Structure 1
């Protein structure tokens, strides 16, 4: 699957992925509010999946979708669901051992992994321009996240890297197996598998730590809601535009998270961090314009 559909520039697919990035970007700030109110990583992760399953079920029923799917669709959805819950535990768990900035930097190396896997596995064309843009965007994240290397725990690094690999795997598997028309029902089955795993882990860990304030509960549940909407947009978008473009667009997620933290939590950026923000946004814009022109050339009538 290429970056754009055969008839040209796929705006709906782009908007789906960008919308999902905005939804996911809201979760770190909501996480912070929920943590401050007494919740913990395990309970926040579990409630995401617990809320997602009935929500997606209601959406599927309201839209008249047939819940019965072919065996291969169920199998692929289950595999992606397992990778998703492993992604969550790897990324979130790493923060207990290494700084958040380093964890985020390692995790958001997954677009580079997707680009390489797309070339090897899916035979997606990774041009020198696209490879350069992806590396430059990653460099922008290095500046923006202002990574601290004072606490380099091997377990934390391994967990973040594991989360990145699982995220890359879910992107690739989705792009190769999911049809755009199956996105809602397939995502429902993904979440059902992830929810079952998360509930088993939560039961083994003991009673969940729940928020103790009204604001905390709002953040706790809103986190799960935005995560669910983000998943729908992400997987629907990947099915339309492919894994590599979707992964590149996902670089905007930590940028939005940081800007939200500035607005809501009062955090501040220095000049180098603002430069990093500009680099990431610029690389994404250049790639989108390059692919738009390529699609226009491909679909224009011959002279």
Structure 2
């Protein structure tokens, strides 16, 4: 692993370096706290082994730095370290202490333990991110799932109300999707859903949001988009999907609704009614809702 060794006394620093390198660690030596912080930022060590005389505000500087904060810190202290001092240091970000005189075996043991602890912490963070993704992502398409996209809708309605900006939404339903599953099988149906999600996402702006409500239904959130602009976007999505080379040709019906001061669930209801009208009118078309649900 990578070990940054910060020690003001060159002979002791060199001895510790030899011990660590003999065990296979890559060591970078520094003699003052300023250089130590710069090396942490540039080199990203796994562990920083810091002598108290070379510390200053280095621990706080490392832990508050957006790049270096992940470095595990071991402090070499003089004899007489009190429990109160140790506790204060650990609150500041010190992971463990070595009290002089320090043996070679103790240095190796503590450095190895600190590195392993950091690896475990990184794995916990990664697992947390994976769990968060499972909670928010649709497993098949990778889009926001129903819960996530509706949460985003609530946030966008709040923003539209606060700033007075337009907001439109589009509810999409793949036409005759049950027929695709029945004739070609669910594996093909899944492939069509994934392809449809890819086509839709490729034709939206970065600030737009796309989610899968469930089954063959999708929801598109269009911030800062009035009714005429939303109609243009929806028609583009309809045409792109109709012309896409999916496993089985597919079309889409789209219901549009532009926010007019109502709650998110009411806005969603109007889009759903417009979608129903589009399907009743023959599918493969876009219908826009009015405030009172007339299309």
Higher relative contact order (CA 8 A, sep 6+): 1
Q: Structures share a fold, TM > 0.5? A: no
State the TM-score bracket (shorter-chain normalisation): under 0.3
TM-score calculated relative to the size of structure 2 = 0.23
Greater percentage in strand? 2
Structure with higher Rg: it is: 2
Greater percentage in helix? 1
